[in-house]
Structure 1
Amino acid sequence: MDHQQQHPKGAASDAVELPMHDKICIRDLTVRNIIGVDAWERSKRQPIIINLVVYTSVSQAGDTDHLPYSIHYGILCKTVEAHSEKTEFRSVEALADSIARVVITKCHAPKITVRIDKPRALLHAASAGVEITRQKSDYTAEQLAGTVPCPLKFNHQDVIFVKDLRLSCIIGVNPWEREEEQVVVLNLQIYPGYDDSNDRKADYVSSTHNYRTIVRTITKYIEASSYKTVEAFVTSVARIAIEKCHVSKITVKMEKPSAIVFAGSAGVEITRDRAFFANAAANKTHTRGVSSVSSIALNPHHLRDIPRRGPVPAHLTHESFLALGSNLGDSAANLSNALKMLEQDGHVRVVDTSFMYETPPMYVTDQPPFLNAACKIKTDLAPLDLLKKLKEIEAEMGRDFNTIRNGPRPIDLDILLYDSIEYKDDTLTIPHIAMQDREFVLRPLCDIAKDVEHPKLYRHISQLLSQLLLKQEENKIDDGAIHKSVPLRGKIYHWDAKTLIMGILNTTPDSFSDGGNYSTTESAALRAQQLVEDGADIIDIGGMSTRPNSEEISEEEELNRVVPVIKLLRSRGFEAPISVDTFRASVADKAIEAGADLINDVSAGRRDPAMYGVMAKWNVPVCLMHMRGDSKTMMSQTDYGAKNDVVGAIARDLHKSVQRAIAAGVHRWNIIVDPGVGFAKDSEQSLQVLRRLPELIHSESSQLIGYPCLVGPSRKAFIGQLTQQADATKRTWGTAAACTASVAGGASIVRVHDVKEIRDVIKVSDAIWRVKA
């Protein structure tokens, strides 16, 4: 029987309207092919199980029992089998869509559901796959004929699934359940075509989700956690998929095989979408109320040229990651200027930047070290147009394209990733052809895209970096040290080289330990010079006391205390970096204009929203400190919940401030965090901060991982209580112990009064805890 005999005129021709309530089903058709990669991420032939449901009408064959009106399921199977095994497919989604088109075209099916199970897809799951439903009207005639490409798109009926994923975690309330991990079984259904902005049903969307990425992410978080209830467990799984993997909607079914002795399992199933968690977060914020933030008077004259960045324009729909490098001239300034030039014509918005790394040159080694970074952009430019723009920026910044390839250059800009596409021609390859072999590319890219999957290699960027480092270790390859760095007053400081000492210079009459000692411009300038001679790397000048219960002064008075000192120091050739300790945007603005190099904001931008704009305007390093309330109220706001999890609260609050700063245009490489020892924290909480500092800045689960950290324990009240020393000037050795703990915990800067004494403490502490294996 040929294909035409399956559908005689009047039975199932394209011109006849069919009720399509009836179904022809093919169950568990097994084929073998190379489709993506296997559970070990190798490109090998593997079994694929296909289930088909053809929606048609069997009325005439059913009424007459006449062979010409029957659908020949044997031919249907052979057609699908031959098509599935003759060509390699990149994904189960691509195979499912291709089968749908061939059945619609060759077997004249008006509508079909295709389910693809890949049993060897994941190490710890029975299978993974996709189920899609298509009809002839979903394709153009050219797409059905195969004369034009058919991009993958998904509707609200389509599902990506993971079947019987087995994880181990602590779950339950009984004592024995809190001691030993149990196996739980997860079934996931992800809806790639779901769009809650369009009546919760998109016609078709082009985004997809890689089940391997989702499973890795969920496994990482779940197996490191513990739960008392299955409800909390499945909610966490849904939240991780939506917030970490950008899934729009997911159904999570969890079974606990060991729950009941005389039952196979017990469990729960939920369906959640992005709107559910967004609404929950909004309700939680509304219930808690707005935290107490004192308003301050601002002089608009000082702030008129501060930039304001609105949300990303709607027309910038494409997402791309770029690599930046420079080793000629002022390399740090070159990177920043390139980012500014990217945004000039409105076709690109820089939405995130990495940390900055000084890296040894590769390929051509007889040249200066490079500064490397990465950025994430939103754009409306097509890949070739974006490449053209990058080359124009390179040319405008003085790059000579006629010199030796991989030689010195003021700026180098490369497209690493663009959406999830693959592209190749004579001028451009996406993803970047060599990124997986370059540590100086992968390290900064991990800062902003560690969970993004390489569209060809099927691995997260963080996994590519781990693999590269293992390969270098196994092959004893030493490409030279890569240093996370910060530009400060024309120099590049390596965060891993030494713990920096920030010397405190209070120009106030009422500071808690040295008030009035340096309240004149001359005495303050002399003290700054003395601090540098004693060993300070940075001088932190403050014009208003932030000790508990201190009185806030006017903006004008704070300016008069700070700016003249900075101007006097710079007029005398003072070369050390100067930090301005203020939460007022106008004071920070004028201080940087006068010659300061760093903004140290005790409120992390909460007290004055214009502060983020000042930080972005001057493109200087900034320190964001955690506190609650103000000088009058902060010590009444030390309640961190029933668990007294002060470190968790610090991480969450500072992460929000960091994200606001980045959204305002502050580069990640300029951001320093400060847990705010003694600010809205009692003595035990301050000790907890020092004790758990590694958890705050080095833990994989912390939102602040990777950020350099400043700790300022100097002469604080908790040291006085422990040593029973009421005189703050006599708390030097207690401060030394706290600074030692800070270095052991991974602090990058300590802020102290007694620089000369603490200098030797830091040297020894660095020798113990910063020594490299």
Structure 2
Amino acid sequence: MDTIEIHNLEVRTILGRDSWDRTKKQPVLITVKVQASVAEAGRYDRVTDSVHYGKLCKAIEKFAESQAHKCMEELAENVADICFSLKADMVMGVFVTIKKRKTFLRAKYGQVEIYRAQKKEIGQYEKFREIALKSAGELVGEDLVSVIDLKLSVILGVNTWERYEKQNILVGMTIHVEKNEEKELGQSQGFVIKKNQDIRKLVDRVSKYTEERTNYLTVEALAVAIARVAIMEHKVNKITVSIKKPSALMFAECSAVTITRTREQIIGSLVSASNSEAGEREANEEVSSVVVAEDIIKKMDNDSTACQDKTLEGSSISYIGVGSNLGDRLKNINDALKTINESKHSKVVDTGFLYQTSPMYVLDQPAFLNTAFKIETTLSPQELLDFLKGIEADLGRDFSMMRFGPRVIDLDILFYEDLVYETERLTIPHPRVHERKFQLQPVCDMNPRLVHNKLNMEVGLICRRLTTHSNVPDDIQQVMPISRNEFTSCIGNGVHGTSSNEEKSVIRGSNKGLFTLGRAQNETLIMGILNFTPDSFSDGGNFNNLDIAVEHALSMWEDGASIIDIGGQSTNPKVKEIISTDEEIRRVVPVVEKIKSKSQGIVVSIDTFNSEVARKALEAGADIINDVSGGEIDKSMFNVVAEHGCPVVLMHMRGTPQTMFSKVNTDYNRPKIGLSSTGDQEHTLENKEQDQEQEQEEIVTLITCVKLELSHRVKNALRAGIPRYNIILDPGIGFSKNKKQNFQIMKNLDLLFKNDSHIFDYHNNYNHCTQMLQLLSKVSIENFPVLLGTSRKAFLQNNNEPKDRVWATAATVTAAIQNHVTIVRIHDVKELKDVVRISDLIYR
């Protein structure tokens, strides 16, 4: 097919944001190929019988340099429209390629390629339409977004020097975007990359993965691994990966490998690998943790599908900013959440964490407590506004007070679906959300990729940019409630609604029920253990009397415990029977009542996996539920916790206390997969290195399984209506884990609670991790407060009795604090309080 072409026309135009996040004119190269018959021009030698490339060049240049464009895709669409408009009666199709230098700092170009066919009748040239479409090839059905020559430094190759010294390679990635995919970015017709296919995040991830964590022998293996990362982590449906290796051949510029993979091909290869491993397991008559993990994945996939279906038919998603700085701020927020859930038209489906922030605009007022709700609602934006204003009024907000002044509760509509909406009463997105970290951060906790459609930026990026501006104070502090109300407990390092300039006191008994987390945390909470049981492994029968138990609780409180954890059901695996619900209630409820009668300020936790026991204890005054099964044994537990609005500890355990040490529940390993090999013995790793690789893979698999299963518990808790800020996680040391696994978790606590994708940076064998990563990305366990319970447990023993393991426990407590654990659960409060205090001074 004949084409009239312009190659690499350089224009300067505003094209979104540059690599330094600035909105400035940038150099762009534009190539167009216009499909049009030049037969008449060739016969009669008349320029009027063809497309005048001079006029076309000037039209493109004038348009590009006079307009601002959101992205390369939008510019490409507009250039195609110009080509059609210049001579619509003879143009059958247009190829447009947009290149931008330094789209990515280490890549030669970012590039977009599109083809658009003429939709109108074109008279005498209509007969050429089929030829034009055929010559367009794959671009008829898909557009291409490419990263050209991304320069990376890697260990790659089979030669000895290549195993020890990094070399430069050039990576190219082309995402194939089907034209019928739903439009989600920009305003251009027919082409877009979906929101979850963020090319910059993909480049960052591939760069980090390739440079820091790969050492493949072959270019082919690395190319497939990069394709897997793109497809499994970034939800790309089809990708072409090319890798150039300049140092490979002496008398050639480079060697290169180019592959194209689809989602179906990658998943098919994973299934084949899984089936092969399953055959090995059957042949060896062994039950592997892969079976356990696959069962969890299937279960979570079903749950995820159900979770995607909105609970309210015909509903819309809205994000609501929530704040309070008068009265019991925590109670105000919980009351607002409860009121929304009690309506027939709206439901809270997720929340951000809780943050204490200094006031903005009007500075002379108490500090705020902030979060955000993600809700489903059948109300229109105006109806939702009226509903929220009604809740504010019912909770006691005084609307006569100054704007931006103190308020009992503030409920702002931040986002409503992807709506851009403005009336006299309501603007969506919220007109000031982009300057308020106290509203952006809780939204980022739930969905950092949510797009602010007026700014055309993800909220995660907006929030990060706020912290880089010198005039924006980064004083937002994540806080954790340890009770249902703000003013019912007394701990060190508490925070409350005092003036932002008032020093936060650290006085026990001052009724502060919020605990500072993150960088501002300077004290570790101590949870003192009180077993009202005859058969606990460590102190069974020692406190099996009401008066003695209460006296011991008060003693631990005076010695420095911030929380008293009362258990009436032993989790000792040697105890073969679970006691009745009535018996457990008889044991724990009187203890709660008597402790609370002594002081309402003492924070009481109930160690139970029985929902009815939890209900009775909460009604008696308990503050926290500590469920060793994470809601898995009694499915009603989460409903009770959500109903009472209390914090809950979700621990990792498989099975029950009676079955948790069975082989299937402690087997986190899978059949080992070695590194890729060419078959030459001289190029394989040494045995010692193979053992280290195997050990590292074993750790990664263990951490992956625990992370995955905790993520599953968090997701179920959120779905049941428990706010994110009321969830505390416990990795379950001593439960469903052998001695070696307990120490592996202790040594890798940071990895366990890091951003989910980090866990897969630690080895090359990616296949067994990709499905887990997809599921983990739906509910991250990053930034949740963490409780660790190692006290007197069997993995610390050295042929000694539990009561003689105090100093072994002290070592684990120190390690926990070094890894920024929030709460340590211990028996020996008096003996270990100084260990905690000094460790805090060193590591906090």
Q: If the TM-score is normalised by the length of the shorter chain, which range does it land in?
A: 0.7 to 0.9
Q: d(CA) in 1 for partners of 2:612 and 2:295? A: 18
| Correspondent of 1:226 among 214, 217, 235 | 214
Whether the 8 Å CA contact 2:535–2:572 is kept in 1: the answer is no
Please say if 1:273 is aligned against 2:263.
yes
Whether the 8 Å CA contact 1:622–1:672 is kept in 2: the answer is yes
Counterpart in the other structure of 1:589: 615
Note the C-alpha offset of 1:59. 5.6
| Correspondent of 1:707 among 776, 784, 800 | 784
Output one character per residue of 1:22-63: Cα deviation in whole Å (capped at 9) or x when no partner.
544433233222222333232222222222233445566567
Name the aligned partner's letter for residue 621 of structure 2: G
Whether the 8 Å CA contact 2:73–2:191 is kept in 1: the answer is no
For residue 219 of structure 1, give the secondary structure of its aligned residue in structure 2: helix
Note the C-alpha offset of 1:163. 1.8
Counterpart in the other structure of 2:808: 734
Counterpart in the other structure of 2:408: 410
Counterpart in the other structure of 1:9: none
Counterpart in the other structure of 1:499: 524
Note the C-alpha offset of 1:749. 0.7
Q: d(CA) in 1 for partners of 2:19 and 2:561? A: 54
**Superposed counterparts of 1:279-358, under 5 Å:** 280=270, 288-290=290-292, 311-313=309-311, 320-342=318-340, 350-358=348-356
Note the C-alpha offset of 1:423. 6.0
Counterpart in the other structure of 1:748: 822
| Correspondent of 2:367 among 344, 362, 369 | 369
Name the aligned partner's letter for residue 524 of structure 1: A
Counterpart in the other structure of 2:477: 482
| Correspondent of 1:85 among 65, 77, 85 | 65
Note the C-alpha offset of 1:522. 4.6
Note the C-alpha offset of 1:550. 2.8
- Cα–Cα, structure 1 residues 77 and 481, in superposed 2: closer, same or farther, change >3 Å? closer
Please say if 1:51 is aligned against 2:51.
no
For residue 797 of structure 2, give the secondary structure of its aligned residue in structure 1: helix
The number of residue pairs the alignment matches comes to 714
Please say if 1:693 is aligned against 2:749.
yes
**Superposed counterparts of 1:135-534, under 5 Å:** 135=117, 137=119, 156-172=141-157, 176-193=161-178, 207=194, 209-228=197-216, 230=219, 233-242=222-231, 244-261=233-250, 263=252, 264-273=254-263, 277=267, 280=270, 288-290=290-292, 311-313=309-311, 320-342=318-340, 350-377=348-375, 390-417=388-415, 432-450=430-448, 461=459, 464-472=462-470, 482-490=477-485, 491-495=513-517, 496-534=521-559
Whether the 8 Å CA contact 2:786–2:823 is kept in 1: the answer is yes
Counterpart in the other structure of 1:666: 722
Whether the 8 Å CA contact 2:231–2:263 is kept in 1: the answer is yes
Please say if 1:653 is aligned against 2:691.
no
**Superposed counterparts of 1:708-723, under 5 Å:** 708-721=785-798
Whether the 8 Å CA contact 1:35–1:92 is kept in 2: the answer is yes
Considering fraction of residues, name the structure with more helix.
Answer: 2
Name the aligned partner's letter for residue 657 of structure 2: S
**Superposed counterparts of 1:585-624, under 5 Å:** 585-624=611-650
Counterpart in the other structure of 2:687: none
Output one character per residue of 1:588-607: Cα deviation in whole Å (capped at 9) or x when no partner.
33433333221212222333
| Correspondent of 2:78 among 76, 89, 98 | 98
Name the aligned partner's letter for residue 566 of structure 2: I
Q: d(CA) in 1 for partners of 2:120 and 2:587? A: 71
- Cα–Cα, structure 1 residues 393 and 216, in superposed 2: closer, same or farther, change >3 Å? farther
| Correspondent of 1:111 among 93, 103, 124 | 93
- Cα–Cα, structure 1 residues 236 and 410, in superposed 2: closer, same or farther, change >3 Å? farther
TM-score under structure 2 length normalisation: 0.74
Identity %: 41
Note the C-alpha offset of 1:745. 1.8
For residue 718 of structure 1, give the secondary structure of its aligned residue in structure 2: helix
Q: d(CA) in 2 for partners of 1:335 and 1:170? A: 52
- Cα–Cα, structure 1 residues 213 and 582, in superposed 2: closer, same or farther, change >3 Å? same
- Cα–Cα, structure 1 residues 461 and 227, in superposed 2: closer, same or farther, change >3 Å? farther
Tell me which moved more, 86-95 or 328-337.
328-337
Q: d(CA) in 2 for partners of 1:88 and 1:309? A: 40
- Cα–Cα, structure 1 residues 316 and 745, in superposed 2: closer, same or farther, change >3 Å? farther
**Unmatched segments (≥5 aa) in structure 2:** 122-138, 184-188, 279-289, 297-305, 486-512, 670-693, 760-779
Tell me which moved more, 456-465 or 176-185.
456-465
Q: d(CA) in 2 for partners of 1:38 and 1:223? A: 24
Please say if 1:640 is aligned against 2:668.
yes
- Cα–Cα, structure 1 residues 240 and 730, in superposed 2: closer, same or farther, change >3 Å? same
Q: d(CA) in 2 for partners of 1:499 and 1:623? A: 16
Note the C-alpha offset of 1:138. 9.9
Note the C-alpha offset of 1:75. 2.9
- Cα–Cα, structure 1 residues 318 and 409, in superposed 2: closer, same or farther, change >3 Å? same
- Cα–Cα, structure 1 residues 275 and 734, in superposed 2: closer, same or farther, change >3 Å? same
For residue 68 of structure 2, give the secondary structure of its aligned residue in structure 1: coil
Whether the 8 Å CA contact 2:242–2:256 is kept in 1: the answer is no
Counterpart in the other structure of 2:604: 578
Q: d(CA) in 2 for partners of 1:358 and 1:64? A: 78
| Correspondent of 1:123 among 105, 130, 135 | 105
Counterpart in the other structure of 1:767: 841
Output one character per residue of 1:680-728: Cα deviation in whole Å (capped at 9) or x when no partner.
333333233333323333578365432211111111112222xx32x11
- Cα–Cα, structure 1 residues 187 and 479, in superposed 2: closer, same or farther, change >3 Å? closer
- Cα–Cα, structure 1 residues 574 and 75, in superposed 2: closer, same or farther, change >3 Å? closer
Note the C-alpha offset of 1:64. 6.9
Whether the 8 Å CA contact 1:612–1:661 is kept in 2: the answer is yes
For residue 76 of structure 1, give the secondary structure of its aligned residue in structure 2: helix
- Cα–Cα, structure 1 residues 158 and 396, in superposed 2: closer, same or farther, change >3 Å? farther
- Cα–Cα, structure 1 residues 253 and 763, in superposed 2: closer, same or farther, change >3 Å? same
TM-score under structure 1 length normalisation: 0.81
Name the aligned partner's letter for residue 539 of structure 2: D
Counterpart in the other structure of 1:16: none
Name the aligned partner's letter for residue 289 of structure 1: V
Note the C-alpha offset of 1:400. 3.1
Whether the 8 Å CA contact 2:527–2:825 is kept in 1: the answer is yes
- Cα–Cα, structure 1 residues 236 and 425, in superposed 2: closer, same or farther, change >3 Å? farther
Counterpart in the other structure of 1:542: 567
Note the C-alpha offset of 1:370. 0.8
Please say if 1:552 is aligned against 2:577.
yes
Please say if 1:630 is aligned against 2:686.
no
Counterpart in the other structure of 2:774: none
Name the aligned partner's letter for residue 30 of structure 2: I
Tell me which moved more, 277-286 or 618-627.
277-286
- Cα–Cα, structure 1 residues 127 and 22, in superposed 2: closer, same or farther, change >3 Å? same
